[in-house]
Structure 1
Amino acid sequence: MNLSRSARLAAVATAAAAFFVIAASAAPTPGADGIGDTYFPRLGNGGFDARHYDLDVAYDPGTGRLDGRTTLTARATQNLSSFDLDLQKLEVTRVEVNGRRAGFTRDGDELRVTPRGTLPGGRDFTVSVTYGGIPQPLNGPIVFGSDYGWMKTTDGVFVACEPNAASTWFPSSDHPADKATYDIRIKAPKGLTGVSNGRLVSTYDKGGSTYTHWRESRPMATYLATATIGTFDVRTGRTPAGTPIYVAIDPVLKNSNNVDVYAVTAAATDYWSQVFGPYPFEETGAIVDDMPQAGFSLEVQSKPAYSAVRSESTIVHELAHQWFGDSVSVARWKDIWLNEGFATYAQWLWAEHQGTRSAHDSFLAAYDARPASSAFWQIEVADPQRDTMFASAVYQRGAMTLQMLRERIGDEAFFRLLPAWTRLHRYGNADTDDFVRFAERISGQQLDDLFDTWLFTTGKPTL
């Protein structure tokens, strides 16, 4: 059937109207307490789509106390009688839905909110939560055995939350599949700097406090949000290609390494913009804090966070994540190689760009360094399991997969694939199957054998 454009639009409008009539007539039910991620079954929440977070946080480094008010604007995806938010340990004193007092209960890390009336499917609503307490970092085997989340420093706090620690400091739908935009307002003792995502809207002193307001206008996963507070030397400007840059470095670390964080950040942002497609955010930068207990860095959206001055290679890795992980985020945590494999491969590309080693030679070095008997080869990269989701195989074998793909389909198709992938899923989510299908589409080749060997099979592949 060949309908006119007006007829097609009328048909779409009729179908949409019918959907909302059905939704409106459905009995209200509670939203699910998780989105169904097999690694974190109760992370994220069902029944609504997060749209925007307005975070107000006040932190006292002396006592470690955080007081906050979070207002989430969300769209109900069903008729809701109640819904959950993720929040760990902090005490909730008041909840409002659409400006009216709402009931709430706690069940572990779940905050169940019951509004006074039904929230209709397809409609936006707001929920405001007032809370406080002393946030505790998480610890365990997941993140290299390190603390992560809200981590107290000598002069403030270092906030790096992958994968499940955003809910240590604000109530949220804490899963990368539910992105939103953010306004983040930070109150800290006068003289300290609060650094967050996006661009700085305002900063001022009042009484004994310093207030900063940051706005991230591009969709962001919860684990990428930060409110890092401390004493920082701040440098701002633009990269050579014109992207605004904001770099904050703890003065304790100023002379601890010969890496010029500002210069490398600027250069890598511009180079990846050529290789991966246009830079996806309003500002680039870095947060470098003296936090030796955190043995990692994190691709905080727009400003990667480093727990010390890291190497040039680490900086280019975290900046590559702005495309692979931040703009294009995983649909489920088992797809984590789409973040870490790509960012590791970016390190190999950077060495190739610098003329120090080809990506092929980096591949061979990683491949030859591990005998077939190594436990490294026993991780299934496409589903590495929760406690080993950050195993070195996810990084290194993920990168090996990309080099094998490059050598199979050729440089022309491979370097057309990368920016096409980031453009297709810009500010969205994707999984491994999406990438396999897209690589086959771009290359015109059938690639099941390659991906089965390198992602879905354990054991050391034969070259």
Structure 2
Amino acid sequence: MSSGGGTRVRRLGVLITALAVVAAACAGPGIDTGGGGGTTVPTRSTVRTDPGVSVPDTGATDEGGYPPVPSSVDLPGVSGSTTTGETVPPARPVEGDIGLGDPYYPDWGNGGYDAVRYTLDLTIRPEQDLVDAVVTMDAVATESLLGFNLDYAGPPLDQVMVNGIEAEWDRDGQELRIQPVDVLPAGSEFSVRTTYSASPNSVPTVAWPQGVGWQAPRADLVYVVSEPNGARGWFPVNDHPSDKALYRFVLTVPEPLTAVANGELVGSTTEGGMTTFEYETHHPMASYLATIGVGEFTARSSPGPDGIELRDFVAPGLVGLATPALDLQAEMIEGLTPLFGPFPFDIYGALVVDSEFGGALENQTLSVFSGGMFRSPILAEEVVVHELAHQWFGDSVTIDNWRDIWLNEGFATYAEWLWRDMTEPDFDLDAFAVATADSGRPIWGPPGDPGPAGLFDSTVYIRGALTLHQLRLTVGDDDFFEILRTYASRFADSTVDTAGFVAVAEEISGRELGDLFDAWLYGDRTPELVGG
């Protein structure tokens, strides 16, 4: 995510050596790194299975680490016996856990199932501030479930159904507790259908107190920017990045408004003054990246490199301001692909809204930009390349806990610097990095542990990017960019933590790098850049 000068100071490449001045004091102390050769970061690996389902590696343990290892999936036809013929009693049905044990937000997300697909069928009437919503989650039970939770902070619900049968349910704060009529066996597929007719809510969060999620600033405009937990304000969801899923959007709006969303437009029909737009994602997506936009937009479409479709939707009054930076997206993809690997999606573009929410967000395949981000040509270019880089790092490769957000923001900020290195003949990246580290040394705390309120503190962006530059100086350009390409490929459409990235870096470079990452990610002061 980007900020135009508030808490989210992401585009601070534009501040150059004044970056330290922009940086706010980092929240949260560093974790105990122990000073050993390996970085002391809690680990969680995932293996890719069906699209949208991440299954924890069964080699993990639950000895106090994050997150707790869920019970083994008791697959149909297997649960009653072993390969030796012994009879094994089926797992006793349980209530799904409330929360996934995130180190910063332990109650976010829910246990007992993996979301596979969400269908959001929304009839949106902005002039009435009204949404008729039918939301379906298809999921797979990872335990035999008597009941389970969804995260939800939206308007009152009219109905909750599980597998087509009305279920008992209640709400407690931001938890929606559901009791289906029948037990959901481990390994079984099930669906949850919820409905409401009301206005969705934005959700205040300690990391972004202004509120994230549903935004309806005018009678002719709706858009969504949800990082980190705004999705629960407009649909019931397993709202944690570790549970990625596919999405389908069916958006019906009054003429002449247009509705846009993540993914590919697969159809549209108009009847009785209402137009329905249908969008499908082809890759699993974290819930905070789900977005829609409703309004009057100027649409732009052009072929991009390697068959990628580029399409933008811009508020009519901002076309002149936004076009110069948006026109660089194809060139940016061409420039970054040799460094990061193939672009992870077959479609990409921007939604530029005439509303000042103070930043930009890298929603998967459709980044959302506040119009004010384009008033400075320098800032506009850096914001556009930053959100584009997130499609690799943050969207395709997604963090599995919020403490590791530097893996998103540090990488995207470093992409800004790489873009400047490509396009500005007089830009000296090494000198810039040294000056930046020196200017911010007194105020930047540990980017690897910024604290629950510090997800968008400048240290996460800038010292996170400096961590990557120190890695580059240490291992050399060839190994550094091979590390980035391997990391992007290995964890595509999946989730990862800092330990996963460190493991790739040590594998490719053949070096012990724990001390480097401990110092740069968890030390109280920004270290000196060495090497080169």
Q: How far is the alpha carbon of 1:387 from its aligned partner?
A: 0.4
Match of 2:423 among 339, 344, 354: 354
- Could you say what the CA RMSD is over the residues aligned between the two structures, in angstroms? 1.8
Q: Does 1:462 align with 2:528?
A: yes
Question: Secondary structure at 1:91's aligned position in 2?
Answer: coil
Q: Does 1:390 align with 2:390?
A: no
Output the CA distance in 2 between the equivalents of 1:320 and 1:195: 21
Output the CA distance in 2 between the equivalents of 1:17 and 1:303: 39
Output the CA distance in 2 between the equivalents of 1:53 and 1:253: 32
**Residues 240 and 76 (structure 1 numbering): CA distance in 2 closer, same or farther, change over 3 Å?**
closer
Instruction: Pick which of 320-329 and 200-209 moved more.
Output: 200-209
Output the CA distance in 2 between the equivalents of 1:103 and 1:140: 29
Question: Secondary structure at 1:423's aligned position in 2?
Answer: helix
Give the match for residue 387 of structure 2: 318
Q: Is the 8 A contact 1:231 1:251 kept in 2?
A: yes
Write the deviation string for residues 128-177 of structure 1: whole angstroms up to 9, x where unpaired.
Answer: 1112322222345513x544211113222121100000011111101110
Match of 2:345 among 262, 281, 289: 281
Output the CA distance in 2 between the equivalents of 1:271 and 1:21: 55
Amino acid across the alignment from 1:365:
A
Output the CA distance in 1 between the equivalents of 2:472 and 2:385: 20
Q: Is the 8 A contact 1:149 1:160 kept in 2?
A: yes
Give the match for residue 271 of structure 1: 335
Compute the TM-score of the two structures, normalised by the length of structure 1.
0.92
Q: How far is the alpha carbon of 1:236 from its aligned partner?
A: 1.3
Give the match for residue 477 of structure 2: 411
- Within 5 A, what are the aligned runs for 1:11-160? 20-21=79-80, 25-139=90-204, 141-143=206-208, 145-154=209-218, 155-160=220-225
Q: Does 1:304 align with 2:363?
A: no
Output the CA distance in 2 between the equivalents of 1:302 and 1:188: 21
Output the CA distance in 2 between the equivalents of 1:285 and 1:24: 52
Amino acid across the alignment from 2:470:
M
Question: Secondary structure at 2:525's aligned position in 1?
Answer: coil
Output the CA distance in 1 between the equivalents of 2:137 and 2:456: 30
Q: How far is the alpha carbon of 1:21 from its aligned partner?
A: 2.8
**Residues 20 and 277 (structure 1 numbering): CA distance in 2 closer, same or farther, change over 3 Å?**
farther
**Residues 359 and 19 (structure 1 numbering): CA distance in 2 closer, same or farther, change over 3 Å?**
farther
Match of 2:439 among 369, 374, 377: 369
Q: Does 1:342 align with 2:411?
A: yes
Q: Which runs of structure 1 show a deviation greater than 4 angstroms over 4 or more consecutive aligned residues?
A: 15-19
Q: Does 1:233 align with 2:302?
A: no
Output the CA distance in 2 between the equivalents of 1:182 and 1:433: 29
Write the deviation string for residues 345-403 of structure 1: whole angstroms up to 9, x where unpaired.
Answer: 00000011113423323312321323x433x2xx2211111101110000000000000
Q: How far is the alpha carbon of 1:340 from its aligned partner?
A: 0.2
Q: Does 1:219 align with 2:278?
A: no
Question: Secondary structure at 2:178's aligned position in 1?
Answer: strand
Write the deviation string for residues 31-57 of structure 1: whole angstroms up to 9, x where unpaired.
Answer: 011111122222111000000111101
Q: How far is the alpha carbon of 1:258 from its aligned partner?
A: 6.2
Compute the TM-score of the two structures, normalised by the length of structure 2.
0.80
Write the deviation string for residues 1-37 of structure 1: whole angstroms up to 9, x where unpaired.
Answer: xxxxxxxxxxxxxx97886337971221110111111
Output the CA distance in 2 between the equivalents of 1:141 and 1:109: 15
Output the CA distance in 2 between the equivalents of 1:215 and 1:233: 21
Q: How far is the alpha carbon of 1:79 from its aligned partner?
A: 0.3
Q: Is the 8 A contact 1:351 1:358 kept in 2?
A: no
Q: Does 1:242 align with 2:311?
A: no
Identify the structure with bigger relative contact order (alpha carbons < 8 Å, sequence gap 6+).
2
Give the match for residue 174 of structure 1: 239
Q: Is the 8 A contact 1:198 1:281 kept in 2?
A: no
Output the CA distance in 2 between the equivalents of 1:459 and 1:260: 35
**Residues 141 and 127 (structure 1 numbering): CA distance in 2 closer, same or farther, change over 3 Å?**
closer
Give aligned-pair identity as a percent.
Answer: 39
Output the CA distance in 1 between the equivalents of 2:491 and 2:206: 31
Amino acid across the alignment from 1:329:
T
**Residues 21 and 278 (structure 1 numbering): CA distance in 2 closer, same or farther, change over 3 Å?**
farther
